[in-house]
Structure 1
Amino acid sequence: MSLPNNLPSADLPAMPLESAQIRDPAQAFGITLPDTLPKEKQVATRPLAVLREVIETVGLAIAMWLLINLFIQNVQVVSVSMLPTLHEDQRLIVNKSAYWFGEPDRGDVIVFRSPQNGEERLIKRVIGLPGDTLEIRDGIVYINEVIISEPYISAPTNSPRDGRWTIPPNSYFVMGDNRPSSNDSRSWGMVPQDFIIGRAVLSVWPIDDWGVIQHYEYDSLAEAATR
């Protein structure tokens, strides 16, 4: 049986498979899609992206500021009542979370709202704790009949303010280290615990005064407690 003469020759090269396929489905309908968005749409989306980035940055900054201020506060000393430990215009960092899960300790330097008006911010040292009997006699401070050593004060506690106090629950007896020039618990009484803002922990300005504000330990009271 003879084959027709018009059949394709077996020697012709085969058509590559790739060129036989339609790569873009849209081409099947004679449609050509652009590779990129029109220029006017690109320009329109650019300001929106910038605006979103600005909003995210500002929002993050505000969140960080709120978080930081929840735990710490920057305060400025405006009186001489804490000399020689602290001086006017000195800037401090206050740990506002210091007493969230505990109570102030004797010797802590604290920032609190004034018991007189509830608004003015004061800074003093905690001397008497709840339940203590505190007495000032001839310029010397006694806690539960034990003399305490106070190397941080500028001068002996002035005698015109001698007296005896029993400290009620949730209250603290505070005094400035500059005893002759400090208006404190000797005048207006105890500081309620819920008036306390936090503990002064760090001096940050001036640079020469940079450092940790030390907590003082009263060895005489510790020794008396072990007897």
Structure 2
Amino acid sequence: MRADFSLLLVVLTLITGVLWALDRYRWEPRRRLAAAGGEVPGPTGIVEFGRSLFPIVLAVFLVRSFVVEPFRIPSGSMVPTLLTGDFILVNKFAYGVRLPVFNIRMLPFGHPERGDVMVFRFPEDPSKDFIKRVIGLPGDEIVYRDKQVYVNGEPLPITPKGRYTGPGVPARWETWEFEEQVGSVMHRLLKTAGRPSYNMRAVVPPDHYFVMGDNRDNSDDSRRWGTVPDANLVGQAFAIWMNWDPDAKMPLWSRIGQGIH
């Protein structure tokens, strides 16, 4: 779906841009000549519409493709960091400038770091966008055993914070909150009693990243379907600009404007 929208935006930009250019450099000079003779024909309706729409479409295309793009969180895999119904902003140039639609990196600057909250195209279905936290970089050995993450043989520091009773998790679940340090990032995560650990080990291939959800026992991530290739990266999530609680049918005002860590 996202590739279809990106393609539509490119097509609209091209069509309205061509109409604007034809009117500016071909038809407008003709109108000036006609006006000098006392006849002032105006542009047709479609030309007028395309000409006026072009600056708006161009601005949306440039901002969305190269600067920042909005996304909506559809699931609870990143609770408590992100809730279902959060509308987030994603930095599109954090991991290099990429060609729209094809997602080919044009300017190779910036790479994901451990602890980043990253949006990417789902490797098993690139038409879908996923959001997870970066745990492993290329060359890292990742071990998940008894609900503890080890990176290159070292356990990620984790501190218990008590029973979790916040939004995003059914009250009937026995869910516990922790603080985990990934790289330089300290973040909150959840573990649910009674859920299996799914122990695993993996070495991250070159130009790939190992990602996990903060709702650790309720996340479909690299533990099941593997690593994320660099070609699938979209950007780094950095802020919540809006929220709509699907249960309460109203915004959670306290979440608006929060940074994402």
TM-score, scaled to structure 1: 0.69
- Residue 199 of structure 1, CA deviation: 0.9
Aligned to 2:133: 125
Q: 1:60 aligns with which of 55, 62, 66?
A: 55
8 Å Cα contact 1:82-1:178 kept in structure 2: yes
Q: Which structure 2 residue ranges, 5 or more long, are not aligned?
A: 1-34, 97-108, 158-179, 181-186, 244-252
Aligned to 2:174: none
Q: Cα–Cα, structure 1 residues 60 and 161, in superposed 2: closer, same or farther, change >3 Å?
A: same
Aligned to 2:89: 93
Q: Distance in 2 between matches of 1:197 and 1:185?
A: 17
Amino acid at match of 1:179: R
Asked if residue 109 in structure 1 is aligned to residue 145 in structure 2, the reply is: no
Q: Which structure 1 residue ranges, 5 or more long, are not aligned?
A: 1-37, 216-227
- Residue 156 of structure 1, CA deviation: 6.9
Q: 1:194 aligns with which of 226, 231, 247?
A: 231
Asked if residue 155 in structure 1 is aligned to residue 150 in structure 2, the reply is: no
Q: Higher strand proportion, which one?
A: 2
- Residue 125 of structure 1, CA deviation: 0.4
Q: Distance in 1 between matches of 2:237 and 2:230?
A: 15
Q: Cα–Cα, structure 1 residues 145 and 52, in superposed 2: closer, same or farther, change >3 Å?
A: same
8 Å Cα contact 1:140-1:156 kept in structure 2: no
Aligned to 1:73: 69
| Partner SS state of residue 94, structure 2 | coil
Amino acid at match of 1:209: R
8 Å Cα contact 2:136-2:204 kept in structure 1: yes
Asked if residue 185 in structure 1 is aligned to residue 180 in structure 2, the reply is: no
Q: Distance in 1 between matches of 2:75 and 2:47?
A: 47
Report which of the two structures shows the higher radius of gyration computed on alpha carbons.
1
* Percent of paired sites with the same residue: 37
TM-score, scaled to structure 2: 0.60
8 Å Cα contact 1:173-1:191 kept in structure 2: yes
Q: Give RMSD over aligned pairs.
A: 2.7
Q: Distance in 1 between matches of 2:121 and 2:44?
A: 46
Amino acid at match of 2:119: V
Q: Which runs of 4+ in 1 moved over 4 A?
A: 46-56, 156-159
Q: Distance in 2 between matches of 1:103 and 1:211?
A: 25
Amino acid at match of 2:74: V
